[in-house]
Chains A and B, each alone.
Chain A
Amino acid sequence: MTTAPADRPRPGPAVFAPWDEPDAVPLIQFKNVTKRFGDFTAIDDLTLDIYTREFFALLGPSGCGKTTMMRMLAGFETPTEGKILLSGQDIAPIPPNQRAVNMMFQSYALFPHLSVWENIAFGLKREGKDKDTIRARVDEMLRLTRLEKFASRKPHQISGGQRQRVALARSLAKAPKLLLLDEPLGALDKKLREETQFELMDIQEKTGTTFVIVTHDQEEAMTVASRVAVMDEGKLIQVATPPVIYEQPNSVYVADFIGDVTIFEGTVRKDGEHYRLDWAEGQPPLRVRSPASLRDGQTAYVAIRPEKVEIHHNRPDDHNVLRGKVVDIGYLGNLSTYHVELPGGRMIRAQNFNTERDTRQPFTWEDEVWVNWTETCGVLLER
């Protein structure tokens, strides 16, 4: 597998990528937004554009400021510095009840004294719509979220997954320009969660609403999002499409946060078309192709994903060939992960797809093996 050249948008009109169009107007613009609580900086000089019809994911560890960003969009917090524009208009003076933004709360925040139907109708009634319009819209939302049978139940009489769908229906009912979802699937078990992710994408497509979703689950972000923003301590580390985030992370932080990766640290040296990374005494340098321009002798990192590492019994004739010993095997059914110990104690993970119906593994514990990867598979990182 080879990676596409960095930063070149793929051609074709069918691809949804307004962020690559120079004259596209963003729906939301964060302009140097800083948010402080006392002397604690939750959001640190953050600039970000989100486009109409995007399914935008905020991904980051707990406490990195994801909820704070959502709350600023919804109007429950105001930026300490900087501006947030919605359709080009500064939203700071607009109170939450007048924003064309709805939020699905992390805790769902369903009204316990109202039935499912009344919960969904709540926002519509506040708009002063007439009864028939409200009824039609609520019924439509119930159908969309497959909740028709539970319309008259109270929130405590339905399951967690159903509650989550009520919260979604309630926040969608007013047809907001922007829907904020704060860890919407956190409380669901894995299977239900995956189902719901696809449901969310389906609903997003049907309604054409712009979604901003918060999650700390990287798989979820990769599955649903048109673009992912990886955050850390109130800063954006990288904003890109899921494949770019995965294949071309801009930092060790992002590479490490998303998926499984082995990282080699060393000093870098330009060698014709490619770079060499000296990472250990007595080991061959790693060859990597990169569009980045690094100084000779600079500290750098090579990140390599396990599925790009091949494992062999005999030495292959290639670059990036390392000798090691299998110390651990993770058998997952569809694939196996081998933990290979390199001389000097370094570990590297290699993944093999189990394409044959053979219950015996081709490699076993203590096997002396060779691992290798092509020079385009590693990612050279400066930090």
Chain B
Amino acid sequence: MRRFALIAVPYLWLLALFLVPFLIVLKISLSDIALSIPPYAPTLDLSAGWEGVRSFFAGLDFENFVFLTQDDLYWKAYLSSVWIAAVSTVITLLVGYPIAYGMARAAPEWRPTLLMLVILPFWTSFLIRVYSWMGILANEGFLNMVLGWFGIPPLQILATNTAVYIGIVYTYLPFMILPIYATLERMDESLLEAAEDLGCSRLTAFWLVTFPLSRGGVIAGCFLVFIPAIGEFVIPSLLGGSDTLMIGKVLWEEFFSNRDWPVASAVAIVLLLILIVPIVLFQRNEQKQREAA
């Protein structure tokens, strides 16, 4: 009995925090918009008994999903989100790998401090950090002020996709650094000496030994950046411009500006379906990592 209770805890957790909200959103996505509170129909009327349940289910349909295929805003937003997330992931990898490498090669007594520095930004609010990027990138912002000192004309960065890339790379960098650092730190340094002993230069030893051995960390880091970046909403709406198209922003507008909960829910359900593929791949990679260790 006790064992059962113990096993039940995570399942109850999943049920309460994932399955129930998911079912609610799924239900709303199958509903119709209505001028009422809540702003959709039908609602389940249990006082009407069996008849009420029947009319409730009769009121559900896939209209909203069909609508998503008719307006090309949606598929363009999905595609653009995937593209922006993919590009940001590549940039984050290019920035994060050298940092993780440097940390893993640093003297052991320095490593905890360096690790701390990577995690430190999490101690301030995400929103505040994004706002400070607005201050840095704005037309009269800090960056352009510094450029002005050197006589360089001001750059228009805020309200462009460039600002979105900067914001995503900055925000998700620790998620890239930490898994890569973990694999690099675990690596036996005598492997590099063995590679050198067998005729490798430092650089070839890196490509033939270090990089392949850190692949698990690279894959994990890429997914940890890519998956949340697809649905990112705050960064594109604060740093991006009117032409920055990301599905998170579309969803927010559908929900709050248009007050169309059913379509917003349909957008969310499709987003979830899109994310399932990389999430499953990520889990597989983690599984493989554990088996290899």
- List chain B positions with a Cβ less than 8 A from chain A: 188, 190-191, 193-201, 204, 208-209, 212-213, 292
Q: Does A360 contact B (CB under 8 A)?
A: no
Contacts of A229 in B (CB 8 A): none
Q: In the complex, what residues of A have CB within 8 A of residue B193's CB?
A: 74, 76, 96, 103, 105, 109
A-B contact count (CB 8 A): 58
> Could you show 9 A-B contacts with beta carbons less than 8 Å apart?
A96-B196, A97-B197, A97-B199, A103-B193, A112-B213, A122-B208, A123-B199, A126-B199, A126-B204
Tell me, in angstroms, the Cα distance from A272 to B260 when the chains sit together: 118
A112-B213, A113-B212 given; A122·B198 CB < 8 A: yes
Closest to A107 in B: B190
B204 touches A103 (CB 8 A): no
Establish whether residues A102 and B200, one from each chain, have CB atoms under 8 Å apart when the complex forms: no
CB–CB B194/A109 < 8 A: yes
If A109-B193, A112-B213 touch, whether A97 touches B188 (CB-CB below 8 Å) is no
A195 within 8 A of B: no
Asked if A174 is at the interface (CB within 8 A of a chain B CB), the reply is: yes
The reply to whether A97 and B200 contact each other, CB–CB distance below 8 Å, is yes
Q: Given that A111-B209, A112-B213 are contacting pairs, would A170 and B198 also be in contact in the complex, using a CB cutoff of 8 Å?
A: yes
For A98, the chain B residues whose CB sits under 8 A away are: 199
Distance, CA A97 to CA B193, complexed state (A): 9
For chain A, the count of residues having a C-beta within 8 Å of the partner chain is 26
Q: Per-position contact with B for A92-111: 1 when CB-CB < 8 Å, else 0?
A: 00011110011101110111
Report the minimum CB–CB distance from A152 to chain B (whole Å).
17
Cβ–Cβ contact A123 & B198, under 8 A? yes
User: Closest chain A residue to B194 by CB distance?
Assistant: A109
Which residue on chain A has the smallest CB distance to residue B215?
A113
Tell me the minimal C-beta distance from B73 to chain A in angstroms: 45
Once the chains are docked, how many angstroms separate the CA of A156 from the CA of B188? 15
Are A127 and B199 in contact (CB-based, < 8 A)?
A: yes
| B198 and A126 contact, CB distance less than 8 A | yes
Would B194 and A111 count as touching, CB distance under 8 A?
yes
A126 and B200 contacting across the interface, CB-CB below 8 Å: yes
Known: A109-B193, A110-B194. 7 other contacts (CB 8 A): A96-B193, A97-B200, A105-B190, A109-B191, A113-B212, A123-B199, A127-B199
